[in-house]
Structure 1
Amino acid sequence: MSTSSSIAKQQETEVRNGSTKPNLKPVNPKPQLRQKKIKKILQNWQLYLFVLPSFLYFIIFHYIPMYGLQIAFKDFIPALGIWGSEWVGFEHFIRFFESYYFWDLLKNTLVINLYELVVGFPLPIILALLLNEVKDGIYKRSVQTVTYAPHFISVVVMAGMIIAFLSPATGIINHFIEFLGFEPIRFLADPDWFKSVFVLSGVWQNTGWGTIIYLAALAGVDMQQHEAAIVDGATRLQRIWYINIPALVPTMIILLILNIGNFLAVGFEKILLLQNPLNLESSNVIATFVYTSGLLEAQYSFAAAVGLFNAVINAALLIAVNQIAKKRSETSLW
């Protein structure tokens, strides 16, 4: 008998007699899981390389700048730097809340966003349902091209077109109004018209593009459901109501949550380009106020405080709406 086998038998006998305890130390699975993850990353390195630019974008332009949020709680002086500036706590927030323009800014921001949500959110759904009922052909492709095209117009060009179309002297809209026998309207000089101009021009620009997501959702509807409904005698309207719309509900909920998450982040660039002293009463929102205070008036800490207030409200609305959607349905962001 070999020496190794005799040693093994001796150890086995000791374990049985209780003189020694077997080595029952649990194996740590973490290193094995880590190795599997590393192996999977190396196998799919092309996918991770593809995602890398987006990852770096959010890190560099969204997460790293969060370091500067502390100036909202300081009396920031560029010469002293962030750490050298005096800490003032919530002074800038209190100043904003107690200012005479706080409620005007909040009202304008909320009204424009509610107006845009009520008018702009259902229209892509309606257009997608209509296009889905049209047979594929020249007419359908032409309608899609015409409705999608405005989305690719830049904000600056879009603002220039709006100003040109609504000009009381040379604008095509006012020429048509005069043709009907009415007086020309100074759309961008009247605060009562600004919100409608902003929202309806946005609807014109983005409705067609928004239908793409809903058309993709409708493409996943099982045609056997429609065939069974036709056999049962369902009309086209009934099939839309009981088959197509329920298929769109999860997509509608997700997009609604995302829209609510940007509720107070109304389109800053377009408002700024259409804004003038005559419509300022209706066009001045939180985003434009932050720009004016921070960049034009160099009130960096005050503007940061207002912007942080805006971001916190958006985050709270996003979480609240997501929780409501999660309780009412099975669809939510998390």
Structure 2
Amino acid sequence: MRDKYLYLLLLPGMLLILLFRYVPMYGIIIAFQDFNIFQGMNDQEWVGFAQFSRLFHSPDFIEILRNTILISVYKLLCAFTIPVILSLLLNELRHVAFKRVTQSIIYLPHFISWVIFSGILISFLNPVDGMVNAIIEMFGGKPIDFLGDTRYFRSILVISDSYKEVGWGTIIYLAAISGVSPELYESARMDGANKARQMWHVTLPAIRPVIIILLILSLANILEAGFQQIYLLYSPLVYDVSDIIDTYVYRVGIQDANYSYATAAGLFKSVVAMVLIVSVNKIVKKAGQDGLW
């Protein structure tokens, strides 16, 4: 009763989670059926694990799984380390106006949808009249179809994703850094520590719990390679290096109306994510750090 107003504030968020996360879980049974949209949910033909067997024995499965993991790992390495480094550097800025302008410029791409961001990227990388190829031709080079060349496509995905989302990561780390006691820095300075030593021995250990929690959450999404970004940028020319589970399921499962097949692939991703998040959390707890629970 004492905290009734806090629970009241919590209620809308809990209702949204219940409505959009838990209620749709009933649809998981589609993965074990041969779903037909003209029949009711309880009138479908049950096929057991046939959809999963079809997915795992698909000639494209190994390729799309490899692409998904590679792209996710590349994104994780960049999107996880760059915000930490950038937040440490921003924290050392003493010119308030310059710091605020820099932060605003870094945050801005996060609030632009992938539809708009991809359109801008396509315009810049267009092999006919794109700015990047115009610069290449200015220096005597030949135009490059960046989005149609398997040698460049993954790098473009990783770089554009890091550029777009790096600002959001720095917000979290800067908030954590702001909670570090100034007395710790004062003690470090009295011991003769320079700025680099202060960041290494004071700032990083202080924000380590936040880093660990975000790492656990990031590893749980290792099969989330970024459907919207890839779908807007890729083409059949780069399927070999860009076709991930989500795009494959969208083409084969949704567009071809194989709903059970699409649900089975989504459930497979969810199970892998659950196993990863539980396993990594246990490893972190055994190492003596605070996990998610």
* TMscore range, shorter length: over 0.9
Tell me if 1:154 matches 2:113. Answer: yes
Residue 87 of structure 1: aligned partner: 46
Residue 259 of structure 2: aligned partner: 300
**Letter paired with 1:245:** L
Once the two structures are TM-superposed, the CA of residue 60 in structure 1 deviates from its matched residue by 1.2
Tell me if 1:273 matches 2:237. Answer: no
Tell me if 1:171 matches 2:123. Answer: no
Q: Secondary structure at the match of 1:278?
A: helix
Tell me if 1:194 matches 2:153. Answer: yes
Once the two structures are TM-superposed, the CA of residue 47 in structure 1 deviates from its matched residue by 2.8
Once the two structures are TM-superposed, the CA of residue 182 in structure 1 deviates from its matched residue by 2.2
Tell me if 1:122 matches 2:81. Answer: yes
For residues 66 and 209 of structure 1, the distance between their equivalents in structure 2, rounded to whole angstroms, comes to: 30
Of structures 1 and 2, the one with the larger relative CO (CA 8 A, separation 6+) is 2
**Letter paired with 1:179:** M
Correspondence list, 1:206-225, <5 A: 206-225=165-184
Q: Secondary structure at the match of 2:152?
A: helix
Structure 1 residue aligned with 2:279, among 320, 324, 329?
Answer: 320
Q: Deviations over 1:106-150 (max 9, x none)?
A: 000000001001122100000000011110422111111111111
**Letter paired with 2:290:** T
For residues 38 and 195 of structure 2, the distance between their equivalents in structure 1, rounded to whole angstroms, comes to: 69
TM-score by length of 2: 0.96
For residues 130 and 242 of structure 1, the distance between their equivalents in structure 2, rounded to whole angstroms, comes to: 15
* Equivalences, count: 293
For residues 267 and 89 of structure 2, the distance between their equivalents in structure 1, rounded to whole angstroms, comes to: 41
Correspondence list, 1:65-76, <5 A: 65-76=24-35
Correspondence list, 1:179-258, <5 A: 179-258=138-217
Structure 2 residue aligned with 1:290, among 243, 249, 252?
Answer: 249
Tell me if 1:332 matches 2:291. Answer: yes
Residue 29 of structure 1: aligned partner: none
Tell me if 1:51 matches 2:10. Answer: yes
> Is the 1:326–1:332 contact (alpha carbons within 8 Å) kept by the matching residues of 2?
yes
Q: Secondary structure at the match of 1:184?
A: coil
> Is the 1:293–1:300 contact (alpha carbons within 8 Å) kept by the matching residues of 2?
no
Structure 1 residue aligned with 2:91, among 132, 135, 151?
Answer: 132
TM-score by length of 1: 0.85
Q: Deviations over 1:79-115 (max 9, x none)?
A: 2222111111111111111111010010000000010
For residues 306 and 222 of structure 1, the distance between their equivalents in structure 2, rounded to whole angstroms, comes to: 47
Correspondence list, 1:16-27, <5 A: none
Residue 261 of structure 1: aligned partner: 220
Q: Secondary structure at the match of 2:151?
A: helix
> Is the 1:73–1:90 contact (alpha carbons within 8 Å) kept by the matching residues of 2?
yes
Superposition CA RMSD, Å: 1.3
Moved more, 102-111 or 79-88: 79-88
Task: Please identify runs of 4+ aligned residues in structure 1 that moved more than 3 A.
Answer: 43-46
Q: Deviations over 1:144-182 (max 9, x none)?
A: 111111111111101111111111122112222223332
Q: Secondary structure at the match of 2:236?
A: coil
For residues 138 and 202 of structure 2, the distance between their equivalents in structure 1, rounded to whole angstroms, comes to: 45
Residue 97 of structure 1: aligned partner: 56
Once the two structures are TM-superposed, the CA of residue 192 in structure 1 deviates from its matched residue by 2.3
Q: Which runs of 5+ in 2 are unaligned?
A: none
Once the two structures are TM-superposed, the CA of residue 44 in structure 1 deviates from its matched residue by 4.0
